[in-house]
């Protein structure tokens, strides 16, 4: 049974930093591309970033480029999202997701491609 669990959310002031973690079990982690997504109240889910199976390539949304960094440690079955220079508009529930991809150099930026999702972790940025 596949399980995906996020952690690391919390309350931070604008300009601060947080690091989110996501641990996946029940799958061969390095066969899966991983993605971060977020959803603010009253808004649609938004893709934040994704990373290829071995972490060679990443994709980041324009809204977070230069501030957020996505990485993974396949030995620990863990995905990370380092968030710096946080803004109030980054406030959302952040979700981690996994999808099996045969192409080790590709990660889907759209959440529709992903089949395994965590429960989410709340990030609140105060102004």
Strands 121-126 and 10-13, by their bridges, are parallel
**Could you list the pLDDT tens digit for every one of the 127 residues in the chain?**
999 999 999 999 999 999 999 999 999 999 999 999 999 999 999 999 999 999 999 999 999 999 999 999 999 999 999 999 999 999 999 999 999 999 999 999 999 999 999 999 999 999 9
Number of Cβ atoms within 10 Å of the Cβ of 123 = 22
For the record, the structure tokens of 91 come out as 């406030």
Residue 75 contacts by C-beta under 8 Å, 6 or more apart in sequence?
A: none
Among 20, 26, 21, residue whose Cα is nearest residue 100: 26
- Structure confidence by residue, pLDDT tens digits, 7-24: 999 999 999 999 999 999
């Amino acid at each position: 049974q596949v399980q995906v669990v996020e952690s690391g959310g919390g309350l931070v002031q604008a300009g601060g930093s947080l690091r989110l973690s996501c641990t996946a079990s029940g799958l061969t982690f390095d066969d899966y591309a991983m993605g971060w997504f977020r959803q603010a109240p009253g808004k649609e889910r938004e893709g934040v970033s994704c990373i290829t199976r071995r972490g060679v390539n990443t994709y980041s949304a324009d809204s977070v480029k230069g501030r957020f960094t996505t990485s993974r440690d396949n030995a620990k079955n863990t995905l990370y999202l380092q968030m710096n220079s946080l803004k109030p508009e980054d406030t959302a529930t952040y979700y981690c997701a996994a999808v099996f991809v045969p192409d080790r150099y590709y990660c889907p930026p759209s959440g529709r491609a992903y089949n395994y999702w965590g429960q989410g972790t709340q990030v609140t940025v105060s102004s």
